[in-house]
Amino acid sequence: MNKKYINENLFGKRILIMGGAGFIGSNLALYFQTFHPEAETIVFDHFRNEEKFENGNLKFLGDYRNLLNFRGEIIAGNINSSQDLNKIRDIRPNYIFFESAISDTTVKDQKLMIETNVNAFKNILYIAKDFGAKVIYASSASVYGDSISPQTVGFEEPKNIYGFSKLMMDQTAVKYSKEYFIDIIGLRYFNVYGRNEYFKGKTSSMILQFGLQILNGSAPRLFENSNKIFRDFVYIEDVIQANVLAMVGFGKTGIYNIGTGKARSFQDIADILQRELNVNLGNIYIPNPYVEQYQFYTEADISQTSMRLNYRPTYSLEKGIADYIPEIKQIFKTYGKI
């Protein structure tokens, strides 16, 4: 945690973080604990078990180890359970950060994806309406598919059920904000990386995966033509900044891109990591098995995000990786690999 992003006094406010044991949610929980101890921060999460999707990846990624330094209240629950969601009503939240969803872009179970990412989200909005809570939720750059870069809100072409579910979340948010006068802000994350992502397993960022491969003495394994595959990689610190800025003020309801505004290649990641780790192991190139549903160029148009939320990304890919290296080394020392 490097910076306090707002100066508001949140005394007596109840901040509920759905998915608070996951990657982004745990970072938010620890941010508020560090910089706004006057608020009451509550984590809601299913927590991981051995259940898996048909692709072999874990269904639930929240892990207690992301919250070892957290001292607030923790509630175990499933967002698809109406009984578990009733626990939220007892909290009477002022702010809801919704980071609970299926984030695995390779899941093909369409019914489960819609139930979890759309229907459960709608139930959260009903709760927000009843208590006048402000909602900040995780959307995704996957809604854009192969649309022309820089990707701009209003020009979406999802290529898989995950991207479609996130677009439906966005449309639901717009509808409910108008019908029920709820203050709702959607943040379309581009490729987020940084601390506490290890427990995402195979869906963790390639920055972490390449870093662990290199520390193991292996050349990073990239898809063929990785010098021509571009993403907008955004460091966790800038994602926290965006979430916190979104919670203050009124009249900002809408959907915003969260990235750096500068696309970089996967080859750049491998090269920067090897420079930072003082090695030159070369690269191994493998066929891309996801060609039909793959995004080959993403770059966030952050003009509206900067104008309306006062968001200013401060981490280039080089700076973000350099800041992340100590944790990657610690992960390798503790776990070895994903």
Reading phi first (left if > 0) and then psi (alpha if -120 to 50, else beta), residue 92 is in: left
- Half-sphere exposure (CA, 13 Å, Cβ side) for 293? 16
Catalytic residue among 198, 200, 235, 315: 200
From 171, 31, 200, 23, select the one nearest 99 (Cα to Cα).
Answer: 23
Can you read off the two tokens belonging to residue 302? 């952050």
Q: How many Å apart are CA 290 and CA 130, to the nearest integer?
A: 42
Concerning whether 193 is annotated as a catalytic residue, the answer is no
Can you read off the two tokens belonging to residue 22? 């996951």
Catalytic residue among 5, 31, 162, 176: 162
Do the beta carbons of residue 107 and residue 161 sit within 8 Å? yes
DSSP 148: P
Strand ranges of the sheet holding 254-258, from the earlier edge strand across to the other edge:
73-76, 40-45, 14-18, 95-98, 134-140, 184-189, 254-258
Q: E strands within the chain?
A: 14-18, 40-45, 73-76, 95-98, 134-140, 184-189, 191-193, 221-223, 230-231, 233-235, 254-258, 264-265, 284-286
Concerning whether 333 is annotated as a catalytic residue, the answer is no
**Which residues are part of the catalytic machinery?**
162, 200
